Structure 1
């Protein structure tokens, strides 16, 4: 009897699920037929998958919005969410197809295998992130709500345009400074170097090599896979050179990173702090890494987008984005600190996990918090199968003679090293010490906000955790105790927001940006000429 009552009360939901499943089969069939037909006429599998998926996506939206769910409700927010979510699924599908084709070189069978996980992921994404019951009941409930959304939309648009303008201004500033340097020293000026060649030094070579050939040596596993995979996909789809693909991905991600850091700063501290945060990041003396063939832009956009989604209580998308950040750089797994406390805030929970009440307040979204760790575990399983080392990325660090050393030792040893060094080494040690001192100051600034909310406590905890990891792995073969820290400081996005709050309060934003911009020009030119900067 109890089961019968359950069936009766859940009949509508069960029927919705059946219709959704039938729609998924229909759209998957369309995708596969188009894919197979295009491959038959010798279209590249990547192009064929993209075209087939887009046609299937259009069919999916039409059928789901008109048949599976309430046909009387139409709203542009559905289509926007649907488009974003399904484009992300398309990118993931392209990646998995490349991985399968790497092992199985028959495109028809590879896509048939690829359909299985993509169908499940597509269903869950659309069911819980697009066509949600909550969103259906909340659409256009009142004029006040509509007006509020219009204001938020207009504010978001203005912030995005500001982020685009600042990203372009930063790139123009770097180009101007490089041109000025070349003219003063009467060196040859080439368009290629100004816009591409100068942005692929040092670690860029590793990422480009992995993009071209995949992981072929254990040493390469010190560099994480998602960025070179994106470079390879863009190269295959567009025909861009690997360098152009890397620079394009970095700059596009840089724009969206500035936008989302502005969004989370605006939500927490207001518009002035949001704009100051964007400016501080864009003109920080080592921000040229956001433009270069490095992971900085892609990693940071995943980080701040994940935080923004968690702040909006969208934990599944936040978990996926944090997982992608982890595959871009391993420190992304620590985003779970922020996601966990955002979840506690959303569920109105405390830290008394030993009580039964605490556990009863958990819902299905708590499983989203496991995604960054799961992404990391899956990658480790891949490394075990590919290299024989479950922790290959740690084993690879021996090639740079990296070892753990507490922060107070790396900091004090760098001071001693600087005092006894001369020339460029002296100046480089000064750059390292300045950036780590600024990072410590960011942590101190954040201490005034940690009692404000769970959110601010998690931001501060993330900052101090990543700071400690980034500053405690010296490369002892060259006795560089704070190796790469002038670049690693860019990961401390909460710290930059705390700094922005402070400079806005002191009305010192123009002065700080000017100092940063001058430092950016000088360090950027050193990097452009192949001199080691982080």
Structure 2
């Protein structure tokens, strides 16, 4: 029994370990690359400077999640969905309740969730492909330029874990578990709601030729309960069930609470944002070019999933890609695409077919971008 389990987790475990050691080394040498920026440092500047290798994981949005975990929601914080900070707060309060405990609990949750996500993705891919595809897919995810967010005080790890295991249990026909996980997913992020149409398609595909309408199909409608519960709470405390949408503009002048279509976003970047970049601010140039490049690549991958992967995977990827762009910006897109696991399956399939030279170039390019991105983040620069 133990041997079988170990065989299932061996590759995810060792790649996770190597990835984590690499990130620690990058964080350690990051002061050699960039000066420290004072704003949005985890725990505040004084706390951060006491242990940058620890508190750097809480920069930017990590500060908001930490605050919510400690004392609950306040105005303009409802953009951050509740499961992650509430879980952190509950566990930390059972312990000593000091700020460092909140931070440690959140980081432990992120690390455990990401390892479980890797293990689940490995198993999920092997339902359709050989093991080498799973290996290359996990590798592609781990070396992606913003993969360090999986080790940070962010929801990426939790979301990825839940969405992968939701699909896995759906593939195994365990619809009640799928529905329960889906409810957690839709409460974790707005894009979690795209799991509903994706898994309805998966259910219909599995029941082809059989009775589609059954009791088990009703379990899928547990998925919206997460976000509906949050909206009920928001209506009670703010009189606006969509408060998380109506405050999106405070997170950047490019973002809009009104819907902006994807072609318009590309138009903005090509004709307004990119031509007017100030190249004296290299960090801004880097993040803007990264945003645009990632948007182009993952748009292509989203389309390709319709031809190479299951329809449910393709629907999830395309909808989860498009929804964040409706705010009118690709800001944070390099982080948002981390949870589009079918895209990394496509990358794994592509890498498997390429020769050694292409693989080496791909690795070096991604690792270079990862070093730059993580170094910027740990030194207080906005990345995604």
TM-score with structure 1 setting the length: 0.64
2:327 is equivalent to residue 473 of structure 1:
yes
Deviations 1:409-451 (A, max 9, x none): 212321232133132233322111111111012123323225x
Report how many residues are paired: 360
Counterpart residue number, 1:330: 190
Structure scoring higher RCO (CA < 8 A, sep ≥ 6) equals 2
Counterpart residue number, 1:64: none
Superposed, 1:253-402 pairs within 5 Å as 253-349=113-209, 360-400=211-251, 402=256
Counterpart residue number, 2:93: 236
What is the deviation of 1:361? 3.9
Please give the secondary structure, in 2, of the residue aligned with 1:487: helix
Closer, same or farther in 2 for the Cα pair 1:185/1:307, shift >3 Å? closer
Supply the distance in 2 between the matched residues of 1:433 and 1:290 (Cα, whole angstroms): 21
Structure 1's consecutive aligned runs of 4 or more residues displaced over 6 angstroms after TM superposition are 184-187
Counterpart residue number, 1:142: none
2:259 is equivalent to residue 410 of structure 1:
no
Supply the distance in 2 between the matched residues of 1:261 and 1:434 (Cα, whole angstroms): 25
Closer, same or farther in 2 for the Cα pair 1:155/1:430, shift >3 Å? farther
Counterpart residue number, 1:526: 376
Runs of at least 5 residues in structure 2 that lack an aligned partner in the other structure: 37-47
Counterpart residue number, 1:489: 337
Counterpart residue number, 2:42: none
Moved more, 168-177 or 278-287: 168-177
Please give the secondary structure, in 1, of the residue aligned with 2:51: helix
Runs of at least 5 residues in structure 1 that lack an aligned partner in the other structure: 1-149, 350-357, 451-455, 475-480
Counterpart residue number, 1:498: 346
What is the deviation of 1:185? 7.8
Counterpart residue number, 2:312: 458
What is the deviation of 1:396? 2.4
Deviations 1:94-142 (A, max 9, x none): xxxxxxxxxxxxxxxxxxxxxxxxxxxxxxxxxxxxxxxxxxxxxxxxx
Supply the distance in 1 between the matched residues of 2:4 and 2:345 (Cα, whole angstroms): 19
Counterpart residue number, 1:197: 55
2:305 is equivalent to residue 439 of structure 1:
no
2:18 is equivalent to residue 176 of structure 1:
no
Please give the secondary structure, in 2, of the residue aligned with 1:241: helix
Please give the secondary structure, in 2, of the residue aligned with 1:269: coil
Larger radius of gyration: 1
Deviations 1:438-487 (A, max 9, x none): 1012123323225xxxxx1111111111111122213xxxxxx3111111
2:71 is equivalent to residue 220 of structure 1:
no
What is the deviation of 1:344? 1.6
What is the deviation of 1:386? 2.1
Deviations 1:180-216 (A, max 9, x none): 33357899x988321x211111111111111011113
Contact 1:472–1:482 (8 Å) recurs in 2: no
Supply the distance in 2 between the matched residues of 1:515 and 1:411 (Cα, whole angstroms): 24
Deviations 1:218-269 (A, max 9, x none): x111110000011112212333611111111111111111111111112122
Q: CA RMSD in A?
A: 2.3
More helix by share: 1
Contact 2:321–2:337 (8 Å) recurs in 1: yes
Contact 1:307–1:338 (8 Å) recurs in 2: no
Contact 2:30–2:378 (8 Å) recurs in 1: no
Counterpart residue number, 1:19: none
Contact 1:269–1:501 (8 Å) recurs in 2: no
Contact 2:186–2:225 (8 Å) recurs in 1: no
Please give the secondary structure, in 1, of the residue aligned with 2:318: helix
Closer, same or farther in 2 for the Cα pair 1:154/1:460, shift >3 Å? farther
What is the deviation of 1:167? 1.8
Counterpart residue number, 1:130: none
Counterpart residue number, 1:25: none
What is the deviation of 1:155? 5.7
Supply the distance in 2 between the matched residues of 1:183 and 1:215 (Cα, whole angstroms): 37
Counterpart residue number, 2:44: none
